[in-house]
Amino acid sequence: MVGKSTAFSTAKTSYSSMESSISALKGIKNLNTKGLIGGKWVDAAKGKTFAVTNPATGEKIADVADFDSSDITAAIDAAQSALKAWQMLQPVDRGAILNKWAALIRENADDLALIMTTEQGKPLAEAKGEILGSAGTIQWCAEEGRRLYGEFIDGQKPGTKIVISREPVGVVGAITPWNFPASMITRKVGPAIAAGCTVVLKPSEETPLCALALADLAQQAGLPAGVLNIAPSTDAAMVGKVLTNDVRVRKISFTGSTHVGKLLMGQAAGNLQKVSLELGGNAPFIIFPSANLEKAVEGAISSKFRNAGQTCICANRIFVHKKIFDEFLKVFSIRINALRVGPGDQKDVTIGPLINGKAIEKIEKMIAEVKEGGAKIHIGGKRHALGGTFFEPTLITGASPKAALAREEIFGPVAALYSFEDEDAVIDSANDTQYGLAAYIYSEDQKQVWRVSDRLKYGMVAVNEPLLASDLAPFGGVKDSGIGREGGHYGLLEYTDIKYRLFG
Protein backbone atom coordinates (compact mmCIF):
# COMPACT_ATOMS: atom_id res chain seq x y z
CA MET A 1 0.00 0.00 0.00
CA VAL A 2 1.11 3.54 -0.68
CA GLY A 3 1.14 5.94 2.22
CA LYS A 4 -0.14 9.44 2.90
CA SER A 5 1.27 12.24 0.79
CA THR A 6 1.87 15.97 0.95
CA ALA A 7 1.04 16.47 -2.73
CA PHE A 8 -1.60 19.05 -1.92
CA SER A 9 0.89 21.35 -0.20
CA THR A 10 2.13 22.40 -3.64
CA ALA A 11 -0.82 21.66 -5.91
CA LYS A 12 -4.23 22.51 -4.48
CA THR A 13 -7.37 21.79 -6.44
CA SER A 14 -10.31 24.15 -6.23
CA TYR A 15 -13.86 23.46 -7.37
CA SER A 16 -16.40 26.19 -6.82
CA SER A 17 -19.23 23.72 -7.44
CA MET A 18 -17.99 21.09 -4.99
CA GLU A 19 -19.27 21.01 -1.43
CA SER A 20 -16.74 20.49 1.33
CA SER A 21 -16.22 16.85 2.17
CA ILE A 22 -17.64 17.30 5.65
CA SER A 23 -20.74 19.15 4.43
CA ALA A 24 -21.39 16.57 1.71
CA LEU A 25 -21.44 13.78 4.27
CA LYS A 26 -23.61 15.54 6.86
CA GLY A 27 -26.76 13.67 7.63
CA ILE A 28 -25.40 10.24 6.71
CA LYS A 29 -26.62 8.36 9.74
CA ASN A 30 -24.24 5.42 9.51
CA LEU A 31 -21.04 7.45 9.20
CA ASN A 32 -18.83 6.28 12.05
CA THR A 33 -15.31 7.25 13.09
CA LYS A 34 -14.77 4.82 15.98
CA GLY A 35 -13.73 1.19 15.85
CA LEU A 36 -16.15 -1.65 16.51
CA ILE A 37 -15.34 -4.24 19.18
CA GLY A 38 -17.86 -6.67 20.60
CA GLY A 39 -20.79 -4.71 19.21
CA LYS A 40 -19.67 -1.40 20.74
CA TRP A 41 -18.26 1.67 18.98
CA VAL A 42 -15.04 2.49 20.80
CA ASP A 43 -12.15 4.93 20.67
CA ALA A 44 -8.61 3.63 20.57
CA ALA A 45 -7.43 2.63 24.04
CA LYS A 46 -4.78 5.36 23.96
CA GLY A 47 -7.09 7.90 22.33
CA LYS A 48 -5.09 8.13 19.11
CA THR A 49 -6.75 9.11 15.84
CA PHE A 50 -5.69 9.55 12.22
CA ALA A 51 -7.00 11.84 9.51
CA VAL A 52 -8.89 10.56 6.48
CA THR A 53 -8.67 12.91 3.51
CA ASN A 54 -10.48 13.41 0.22
CA PRO A 55 -7.99 12.57 -2.58
CA ALA A 56 -9.78 15.00 -4.92
CA THR A 57 -9.24 18.03 -2.69
CA GLY A 58 -6.77 17.12 0.04
CA GLU A 59 -9.39 18.16 2.58
CA LYS A 60 -9.71 16.26 5.85
CA ILE A 61 -12.97 14.34 6.03
CA ALA A 62 -12.75 12.90 9.53
CA ASP A 63 -10.50 11.76 12.37
CA VAL A 64 -10.79 8.00 12.88
CA ALA A 65 -9.77 5.88 15.86
CA ASP A 66 -6.21 4.57 15.46
CA PHE A 67 -6.01 1.16 17.14
CA ASP A 68 -2.88 -0.25 18.74
CA SER A 69 -1.99 -3.85 19.65
CA SER A 70 -4.14 -3.84 22.81
CA ASP A 71 -7.18 -2.82 20.73
CA ILE A 72 -6.52 -5.56 18.17
CA THR A 73 -6.24 -8.13 20.97
CA ALA A 74 -9.53 -6.87 22.43
CA ALA A 75 -11.15 -7.35 19.02
CA ILE A 76 -9.83 -10.93 18.88
CA ASP A 77 -11.20 -11.50 22.40
CA ALA A 78 -14.62 -10.34 21.21
CA ALA A 79 -14.51 -12.51 18.10
CA GLN A 80 -13.52 -15.56 20.12
CA SER A 81 -16.29 -14.93 22.67
CA ALA A 82 -18.90 -14.70 19.91
CA LEU A 83 -17.66 -17.72 17.97
CA LYS A 84 -19.41 -20.60 19.76
CA ALA A 85 -22.91 -19.15 19.59
CA TRP A 86 -22.49 -17.98 15.99
CA GLN A 87 -21.22 -21.29 14.65
CA MET A 88 -23.98 -23.15 16.50
CA LEU A 89 -26.63 -21.04 14.77
CA GLN A 90 -28.36 -22.79 11.89
CA PRO A 91 -27.13 -21.69 8.44
CA VAL A 92 -30.64 -20.57 7.51
CA ASP A 93 -30.68 -18.23 10.51
CA ARG A 94 -27.25 -16.83 9.69
CA GLY A 95 -28.50 -16.38 6.14
CA ALA A 96 -31.55 -14.42 7.32
CA ILE A 97 -29.29 -11.87 9.01
CA LEU A 98 -27.06 -11.65 5.95
CA ASN A 99 -30.08 -11.08 3.72
CA LYS A 100 -31.21 -8.23 5.97
CA TRP A 101 -27.71 -6.76 5.76
CA ALA A 102 -27.78 -6.97 1.96
CA ALA A 103 -31.15 -5.23 1.88
CA LEU A 104 -29.89 -2.42 4.11
CA ILE A 105 -26.82 -1.94 1.92
CA ARG A 106 -29.11 -1.52 -1.09
CA GLU A 107 -31.38 0.90 0.79
CA ASN A 108 -28.38 3.03 1.74
CA ALA A 109 -26.52 2.67 -1.56
CA ASP A 110 -26.51 6.40 -2.34
CA ASP A 111 -25.07 7.33 1.05
CA LEU A 112 -22.48 4.56 0.91
CA ALA A 113 -21.45 5.57 -2.61
CA LEU A 114 -20.97 9.17 -1.48
CA ILE A 115 -18.81 8.02 1.43
CA MET A 116 -16.72 5.93 -0.96
CA THR A 117 -16.27 8.68 -3.55
CA THR A 118 -15.36 11.17 -0.85
CA GLU A 119 -12.64 9.06 0.78
CA GLN A 120 -11.46 7.02 -2.23
CA GLY A 121 -12.10 9.27 -5.23
CA LYS A 122 -13.77 7.03 -7.81
CA PRO A 123 -16.73 8.42 -9.78
CA LEU A 124 -20.09 8.12 -8.05
CA ALA A 125 -21.46 5.77 -10.72
CA GLU A 126 -18.56 3.37 -10.13
CA ALA A 127 -18.93 3.71 -6.37
CA LYS A 128 -22.65 2.92 -6.46
CA GLY A 129 -22.00 -0.04 -8.74
CA GLU A 130 -19.49 -1.38 -6.22
CA ILE A 131 -21.95 -0.90 -3.36
CA LEU A 132 -24.73 -2.75 -5.17
CA GLY A 133 -22.28 -5.50 -6.12
CA SER A 134 -21.27 -5.77 -2.46
CA ALA A 135 -24.91 -6.23 -1.49
CA GLY A 136 -25.15 -8.97 -4.10
CA THR A 137 -22.13 -10.71 -2.57
CA ILE A 138 -23.70 -10.70 0.89
CA GLN A 139 -26.99 -12.02 -0.50
CA TRP A 140 -25.21 -14.77 -2.42
CA CYS A 141 -23.33 -15.81 0.74
CA ALA A 142 -26.61 -15.85 2.68
CA GLU A 143 -27.95 -18.40 0.23
CA GLU A 144 -24.79 -20.42 -0.36
CA GLY A 145 -24.11 -20.78 3.37
CA ARG A 146 -26.98 -23.28 3.46
CA ARG A 147 -25.15 -25.49 0.94
CA LEU A 148 -22.03 -26.47 2.84
CA TYR A 149 -22.75 -30.09 2.10
CA GLY A 150 -20.73 -33.04 3.27
CA GLU A 151 -20.43 -36.63 2.05
CA PHE A 152 -21.69 -40.03 3.20
CA ILE A 153 -19.49 -42.95 2.12
CA ASP A 154 -19.54 -46.70 2.74
CA GLY A 155 -16.45 -47.66 4.73
CA GLN A 156 -13.83 -50.26 3.79
CA LYS A 157 -15.02 -52.70 6.43
CA PRO A 158 -18.52 -54.14 6.20
CA GLY A 159 -20.98 -52.19 8.31
CA THR A 160 -18.84 -49.04 8.59
CA LYS A 161 -19.81 -45.61 7.35
CA ILE A 162 -17.73 -42.52 6.66
CA VAL A 163 -19.23 -39.07 7.20
CA ILE A 164 -17.36 -36.00 5.92
CA SER A 165 -18.49 -32.54 6.99
CA ARG A 166 -17.41 -28.92 6.74
CA GLU A 167 -16.96 -26.83 9.88
CA PRO A 168 -16.15 -23.12 10.33
CA VAL A 169 -12.43 -22.56 10.69
CA GLY A 170 -12.89 -20.14 13.62
CA VAL A 171 -11.77 -16.55 14.13
CA VAL A 172 -10.69 -14.86 10.88
CA GLY A 173 -8.27 -11.96 10.57
CA ALA A 174 -8.97 -9.95 7.39
CA ILE A 175 -6.97 -7.07 5.92
CA THR A 176 -8.43 -5.12 3.00
CA PRO A 177 -7.12 -2.48 0.53
CA TRP A 178 -8.28 1.00 -0.41
CA ASN A 179 -9.06 0.57 -4.11
CA PHE A 180 -12.33 -1.34 -3.60
CA PRO A 181 -13.20 -0.44 -0.01
CA ALA A 182 -16.61 -2.15 0.01
CA SER A 183 -16.38 -5.16 -2.28
CA MET A 184 -13.05 -6.32 -0.83
CA ILE A 185 -14.70 -6.36 2.58
CA THR A 186 -17.88 -8.19 1.62
CA ARG A 187 -15.93 -10.80 -0.38
CA LYS A 188 -14.12 -11.75 2.85
CA VAL A 189 -16.67 -11.06 5.57
CA GLY A 190 -19.66 -12.48 3.65
CA PRO A 191 -18.38 -16.04 3.20
CA ALA A 192 -16.61 -16.06 6.57
CA ILE A 193 -19.70 -15.30 8.64
CA ALA A 194 -21.94 -17.37 6.36
CA ALA A 195 -19.71 -20.35 7.15
CA GLY A 196 -20.01 -19.68 10.89
CA CYS A 197 -16.75 -17.80 11.50
CA THR A 198 -16.24 -14.52 13.32
CA VAL A 199 -14.05 -11.74 11.95
CA VAL A 200 -11.55 -9.07 12.95
CA LEU A 201 -11.22 -6.73 9.98
CA LYS A 202 -8.55 -4.10 9.43
CA PRO A 203 -9.58 -1.77 6.57
CA SER A 204 -7.08 0.42 4.76
CA GLU A 205 -6.25 3.60 6.64
CA GLU A 206 -6.95 5.46 3.38
CA THR A 207 -10.60 4.30 3.30
CA PRO A 208 -11.87 3.19 6.73
CA LEU A 209 -15.22 5.00 6.57
CA CYS A 210 -16.75 2.52 4.11
CA ALA A 211 -15.89 -0.38 6.40
CA LEU A 212 -17.34 1.35 9.44
CA ALA A 213 -20.55 2.27 7.60
CA LEU A 214 -21.01 -1.30 6.35
CA ALA A 215 -20.47 -2.63 9.87
CA ASP A 216 -23.10 -0.23 11.22
CA LEU A 217 -25.61 -1.65 8.74
CA ALA A 218 -24.61 -5.19 9.74
CA GLN A 219 -25.48 -4.33 13.33
CA GLN A 220 -28.81 -2.89 12.24
CA ALA A 221 -29.46 -6.18 10.43
CA GLY A 222 -29.09 -8.04 13.71
CA LEU A 223 -25.54 -9.39 13.45
CA PRO A 224 -24.65 -10.42 17.02
CA ALA A 225 -22.00 -8.52 18.95
CA GLY A 226 -18.47 -9.74 18.27
CA VAL A 227 -19.22 -11.56 15.00
CA LEU A 228 -17.77 -8.65 13.02
CA ASN A 229 -15.17 -6.36 14.59
CA ILE A 230 -13.61 -3.40 12.74
CA ALA A 231 -10.09 -2.38 13.73
CA PRO A 232 -8.90 0.82 11.99
CA SER A 233 -5.18 1.44 12.35
CA THR A 234 -2.30 3.18 10.63
CA ASP A 235 0.13 0.45 11.75
CA ALA A 236 -0.58 -2.36 9.29
CA ALA A 237 2.58 -4.26 10.21
CA MET A 238 1.56 -4.31 13.87
CA VAL A 239 -1.95 -5.52 13.04
CA GLY A 240 -0.54 -8.32 10.89
CA LYS A 241 1.79 -9.45 13.66
CA VAL A 242 -0.93 -9.47 16.32
CA LEU A 243 -3.31 -11.43 14.08
CA THR A 244 -0.70 -13.99 13.06
CA ASN A 245 0.80 -14.37 16.55
CA ASP A 246 -2.55 -15.11 18.22
CA VAL A 247 -3.30 -18.83 18.15
CA ARG A 248 -7.04 -18.12 18.37
CA VAL A 249 -6.97 -16.61 14.88
CA ARG A 250 -7.23 -19.60 12.56
CA LYS A 251 -7.42 -17.89 9.18
CA ILE A 252 -5.78 -14.84 7.56
CA SER A 253 -7.32 -13.28 4.46
CA PHE A 254 -5.37 -10.46 2.81
CA THR A 255 -5.67 -8.41 -0.36
CA GLY A 256 -2.74 -6.16 -1.20
CA SER A 257 0.83 -6.20 -2.40
CA THR A 258 2.79 -9.38 -3.07
CA HIS A 259 5.56 -8.19 -0.75
CA VAL A 260 3.23 -7.80 2.23
CA GLY A 261 1.37 -11.01 1.36
CA LYS A 262 4.57 -13.00 1.54
CA LEU A 263 5.43 -11.47 4.92
CA LEU A 264 2.01 -12.38 6.29
CA MET A 265 2.25 -15.91 4.97
CA GLY A 266 5.61 -16.35 6.69
CA GLN A 267 4.22 -15.00 9.96
CA ALA A 268 1.10 -17.19 9.72
CA ALA A 269 3.29 -20.29 9.44
CA GLY A 270 4.14 -20.01 13.13
CA ASN A 271 0.61 -21.00 14.13
CA LEU A 272 -0.17 -22.91 10.92
CA GLN A 273 -3.01 -20.54 10.15
CA LYS A 274 -4.94 -20.96 6.92
CA VAL A 275 -4.06 -18.18 4.48
CA SER A 276 -5.84 -16.63 1.49
CA LEU A 277 -3.84 -14.04 -0.45
CA GLU A 278 -5.08 -11.95 -3.38
CA LEU A 279 -1.96 -10.09 -4.45
CA GLY A 280 -0.45 -8.18 -7.36
CA GLY A 281 -1.21 -8.56 -11.04
CA ASN A 282 0.24 -7.76 -14.46
CA ALA A 283 -2.65 -8.55 -16.76
CA PRO A 284 -2.06 -9.12 -20.48
CA PHE A 285 -4.87 -7.96 -22.78
CA ILE A 286 -4.38 -9.76 -26.11
CA ILE A 287 -6.23 -8.63 -29.24
CA PHE A 288 -6.03 -10.97 -32.25
CA PRO A 289 -6.83 -10.02 -35.88
CA SER A 290 -10.23 -11.74 -35.80
CA ALA A 291 -11.41 -9.67 -32.82
CA ASN A 292 -14.43 -7.41 -33.03
CA LEU A 293 -12.47 -4.14 -33.00
CA GLU A 294 -15.20 -2.01 -31.42
CA LYS A 295 -15.78 -4.57 -28.70
CA ALA A 296 -12.04 -4.86 -28.06
CA VAL A 297 -11.64 -1.09 -27.75
CA GLU A 298 -14.55 -0.81 -25.31
CA GLY A 299 -13.22 -3.76 -23.33
CA ALA A 300 -9.76 -2.22 -23.11
CA ILE A 301 -11.19 1.14 -21.99
CA SER A 302 -13.32 -0.54 -19.34
CA SER A 303 -10.54 -2.75 -18.06
CA LYS A 304 -7.73 -0.20 -18.14
CA PHE A 305 -9.40 2.97 -16.90
CA ARG A 306 -11.89 1.73 -14.32
CA ASN A 307 -11.10 3.29 -10.95
CA ALA A 308 -8.43 5.40 -12.73
CA GLY A 309 -6.49 2.21 -13.47
CA GLN A 310 -6.18 1.37 -9.78
CA THR A 311 -7.24 -2.28 -9.97
CA CYS A 312 -5.23 -5.46 -9.64
CA ILE A 313 -6.88 -7.04 -12.69
CA CYS A 314 -6.82 -4.07 -15.09
CA ALA A 315 -5.12 -4.36 -18.47
CA ASN A 316 -1.46 -3.70 -17.69
CA ARG A 317 0.00 -4.75 -21.06
CA ILE A 318 -2.19 -4.42 -24.16
CA PHE A 319 -0.92 -6.66 -26.97
CA VAL A 320 -2.40 -5.79 -30.38
CA HIS A 321 -1.73 -7.82 -33.53
CA LYS A 322 0.29 -5.95 -36.14
CA LYS A 323 -2.48 -6.31 -38.78
CA ILE A 324 -4.92 -4.23 -36.74
CA PHE A 325 -2.51 -2.20 -34.60
CA ASP A 326 -2.88 1.15 -36.43
CA GLU A 327 -6.65 0.91 -36.62
CA PHE A 328 -6.93 -0.06 -32.95
CA LEU A 329 -4.60 2.78 -31.96
CA LYS A 330 -6.76 5.29 -33.83
CA VAL A 331 -10.07 4.21 -32.31
CA PHE A 332 -8.58 3.66 -28.86
CA SER A 333 -7.12 7.19 -28.94
CA ILE A 334 -10.54 8.67 -29.69
CA ARG A 335 -12.07 6.88 -26.73
CA ILE A 336 -9.28 7.93 -24.36
CA ASN A 337 -9.64 11.55 -25.40
CA ALA A 338 -13.35 11.33 -24.51
CA LEU A 339 -12.63 10.39 -20.90
CA ARG A 340 -13.37 13.17 -18.43
CA VAL A 341 -11.12 13.78 -15.44
CA GLY A 342 -12.41 15.39 -12.26
CA PRO A 343 -13.76 14.89 -8.74
CA GLY A 344 -15.85 11.75 -8.57
CA ASP A 345 -18.98 13.54 -7.38
CA GLN A 346 -19.20 15.73 -10.48
CA LYS A 347 -21.48 14.86 -13.38
CA ASP A 348 -20.04 12.87 -16.30
CA VAL A 349 -16.62 12.36 -14.65
CA THR A 350 -15.10 9.02 -15.68
CA ILE A 351 -11.61 9.34 -14.18
CA GLY A 352 -11.21 10.43 -10.58
CA PRO A 353 -8.01 11.23 -8.67
CA LEU A 354 -5.33 8.74 -7.74
CA ILE A 355 -5.31 7.79 -4.10
CA ASN A 356 -2.35 9.97 -3.08
CA GLY A 357 0.86 11.68 -4.17
CA LYS A 358 3.02 8.57 -4.01
CA ALA A 359 0.79 6.93 -6.60
CA ILE A 360 1.40 9.89 -8.93
CA GLU A 361 5.15 9.76 -8.36
CA LYS A 362 5.24 6.05 -9.18
CA ILE A 363 3.67 6.39 -12.62
CA GLU A 364 5.70 9.52 -13.40
CA LYS A 365 8.85 7.50 -12.79
CA MET A 366 7.59 4.68 -15.05
CA ILE A 367 6.76 7.10 -17.86
CA ALA A 368 10.10 8.89 -17.58
CA GLU A 369 11.91 5.55 -17.95
CA VAL A 370 10.13 4.53 -21.15
CA LYS A 371 10.40 8.02 -22.65
CA GLU A 372 14.14 7.87 -22.15
CA GLY A 373 14.08 4.50 -23.90
CA GLY A 374 12.36 5.95 -26.97
CA ALA A 375 8.67 5.26 -26.28
CA LYS A 376 6.08 7.59 -27.80
CA ILE A 377 3.52 9.37 -25.63
CA HIS A 378 0.43 9.74 -27.82
CA ILE A 379 -1.90 11.16 -25.18
CA GLY A 380 -1.32 12.55 -21.69
CA GLY A 381 1.80 11.52 -19.83
CA LYS A 382 1.71 14.13 -17.08
CA ARG A 383 -0.23 15.48 -14.13
CA HIS A 384 -3.60 16.91 -15.01
CA ALA A 385 -4.17 20.66 -15.05
CA LEU A 386 -6.54 20.19 -12.09
CA GLY A 387 -3.46 19.52 -9.94
CA GLY A 388 -3.41 17.48 -6.78
CA THR A 389 -3.52 13.76 -7.47
CA PHE A 390 -5.23 13.99 -10.85
CA PHE A 391 -3.32 12.46 -13.76
CA GLU A 392 -4.06 12.64 -17.46
CA PRO A 393 -5.32 9.47 -19.17
CA THR A 394 -2.22 8.35 -21.02
CA LEU A 395 -1.48 6.28 -24.12
CA ILE A 396 2.02 4.98 -24.86
CA THR A 397 3.52 2.87 -27.65
CA GLY A 398 7.04 1.57 -28.15
CA ALA A 399 7.82 0.96 -24.49
CA SER A 400 10.41 -1.66 -23.70
CA PRO A 401 8.99 -4.95 -22.35
CA LYS A 402 11.82 -4.85 -19.83
CA ALA A 403 10.76 -1.50 -18.37
CA ALA A 404 8.92 -1.20 -15.05
CA LEU A 405 5.82 -0.15 -17.02
CA ALA A 406 5.61 -3.72 -18.37
CA ARG A 407 6.99 -5.58 -15.36
CA GLU A 408 5.04 -4.04 -12.48
CA GLU A 409 1.48 -2.98 -11.72
CA ILE A 410 0.98 0.51 -13.11
CA PHE A 411 -1.99 1.36 -10.87
CA GLY A 412 -2.85 4.49 -12.79
CA PRO A 413 -4.65 5.64 -15.99
CA VAL A 414 -1.75 4.70 -18.27
CA ALA A 415 -2.29 2.36 -21.24
CA ALA A 416 0.73 0.85 -22.99
CA LEU A 417 0.27 -0.89 -26.36
CA TYR A 418 2.63 -3.58 -27.67
CA SER A 419 2.56 -4.95 -31.23
CA PHE A 420 2.86 -8.68 -31.98
CA GLU A 421 2.69 -10.99 -35.01
CA ASP A 422 2.95 -14.56 -33.73
CA GLU A 423 0.53 -16.39 -31.43
CA ASP A 424 3.21 -18.41 -29.67
CA ALA A 425 5.35 -15.33 -29.14
CA VAL A 426 2.54 -13.29 -27.58
CA ILE A 427 1.65 -16.15 -25.23
CA ASP A 428 5.29 -16.30 -24.13
CA SER A 429 5.29 -12.52 -23.61
CA ALA A 430 2.04 -12.66 -21.66
CA ASN A 431 3.42 -15.38 -19.38
CA ASP A 432 6.78 -13.61 -18.91
CA THR A 433 5.93 -12.21 -15.49
CA GLN A 434 6.04 -13.29 -11.87
CA TYR A 435 2.31 -12.59 -11.64
CA GLY A 436 -0.62 -14.75 -12.68
CA LEU A 437 -3.88 -13.10 -11.67
CA ALA A 438 -5.96 -12.09 -14.73
CA ALA A 439 -5.59 -12.26 -18.51
CA TYR A 440 -7.84 -11.16 -21.38
CA ILE A 441 -8.27 -12.48 -24.93
CA TYR A 442 -10.20 -10.83 -27.75
CA SER A 443 -10.71 -13.15 -30.73
CA GLU A 444 -13.63 -14.50 -32.77
CA ASP A 445 -11.69 -17.69 -33.54
CA GLN A 446 -13.07 -20.20 -31.04
CA LYS A 447 -10.30 -22.74 -31.56
CA GLN A 448 -7.75 -20.01 -30.91
CA VAL A 449 -9.59 -18.90 -27.77
CA TRP A 450 -9.38 -22.39 -26.24
CA ARG A 451 -5.81 -22.92 -27.41
CA VAL A 452 -4.53 -19.64 -26.00
CA SER A 453 -6.52 -19.72 -22.75
CA ASP A 454 -5.15 -23.21 -22.04
CA ARG A 455 -1.59 -21.90 -22.24
CA LEU A 456 -1.97 -18.68 -20.29
CA LYS A 457 -0.59 -19.15 -16.76
CA TYR A 458 -3.24 -17.15 -14.94
CA GLY A 459 -5.90 -17.93 -12.37
CA MET A 460 -8.54 -16.12 -14.43
CA VAL A 461 -8.94 -15.64 -18.18
CA ALA A 462 -11.69 -13.49 -19.72
CA VAL A 463 -12.63 -13.98 -23.38
CA ASN A 464 -14.22 -11.04 -25.22
CA GLU A 465 -15.33 -9.61 -21.87
CA PRO A 466 -13.55 -7.11 -19.58
CA LEU A 467 -15.32 -7.67 -16.22
CA LEU A 468 -14.09 -10.77 -14.40
CA ALA A 469 -15.36 -10.38 -10.85
CA SER A 470 -18.53 -12.35 -10.06
CA ASP A 471 -20.20 -13.75 -6.97
CA LEU A 472 -20.49 -17.04 -8.84
CA ALA A 473 -16.84 -17.51 -9.80
CA PRO A 474 -13.59 -18.17 -7.91
CA PHE A 475 -11.53 -14.96 -8.03
CA GLY A 476 -7.80 -15.36 -7.50
CA GLY A 477 -4.42 -16.03 -9.06
CA VAL A 478 -1.35 -18.22 -9.31
CA LYS A 479 2.39 -17.61 -8.93
CA ASP A 480 3.08 -14.32 -7.10
CA SER A 481 -0.55 -13.27 -7.44
CA GLY A 482 -1.51 -15.32 -4.41
CA ILE A 483 -3.25 -18.43 -3.18
CA GLY A 484 -6.86 -19.22 -2.37
CA ARG A 485 -10.04 -17.96 -4.01
CA GLU A 486 -12.82 -15.48 -3.29
CA GLY A 487 -16.26 -15.97 -4.81
CA GLY A 488 -18.25 -19.01 -5.84
CA HIS A 489 -18.63 -21.97 -3.52
CA TYR A 490 -14.83 -22.25 -3.60
CA GLY A 491 -14.62 -18.96 -1.72
CA LEU A 492 -16.95 -20.24 0.98
CA LEU A 493 -14.89 -23.41 1.41
CA GLU A 494 -11.83 -21.25 2.20
CA TYR A 495 -13.40 -20.55 5.61
CA THR A 496 -14.01 -24.16 6.56
CA ASP A 497 -12.12 -27.18 7.84
CA ILE A 498 -12.91 -30.76 6.82
CA LYS A 499 -13.96 -33.24 9.51
CA TYR A 500 -13.99 -36.99 8.83
CA ARG A 501 -15.95 -39.33 11.10
CA LEU A 502 -15.87 -43.12 10.92
CA PHE A 503 -18.85 -45.07 12.26
CA GLY A 504 -18.54 -48.80 12.95
Point out the residues that are catalytic. Answer: 278, 312
State the Cα–Cα distance between residues 264 and 258, nearest whole angstrom: 10
Phi and psi dihedrals of 61, rounded to 5? -90, -45
Q: Nearest Cα to 183, choosing from 207, 149, 164?
A: 207
Q: Do strands 35-37 and 40-42 pair parallel, antiparallel, or not at all (unpaired)?
A: antiparallel
CB count in 10 Å sphere of residue 472? 9
Phi and psi dihedrals of 331, rounded to 5? -70, -40
| Burial letters 11-43, b for 16+ CB under 10 A, else e | bebeeeebeebeebbeebebbbbbbbbbeebbe
Asked whether the beta carbons of 322 and 421 are under 8 A apart, the reply is yes
Q: Nearest Cα to 200, choosing from 229, 234, 226?
A: 229
CB count in 10 Å sphere of residue 256? 23
Phi and psi dihedrals of 372, rounded to 5? -65, -30
Asked whether the beta carbons of 137 and 190 are under 8 A apart, the reply is yes
1: exposed, middle or buried (Cβ count in 10 Å: 0-12, 13-18, 19+): middle
Give 418's contacts (C-beta < 8 A, 6+ positions apart). 317, 318, 319, 320, 397, 399, 401, 406, 429
State the Cα–Cα distance between residues 497 and 165, nearest whole angstrom: 8
Beta bridge partners of 496: 168
Phi-psi region of 398 (alpha: psi -120 to 50; beta: other; left: phi over 0): left
Rg (CA), the chain: 23
Looking at residue 3, the DSSP 8-state letter turns out to be -
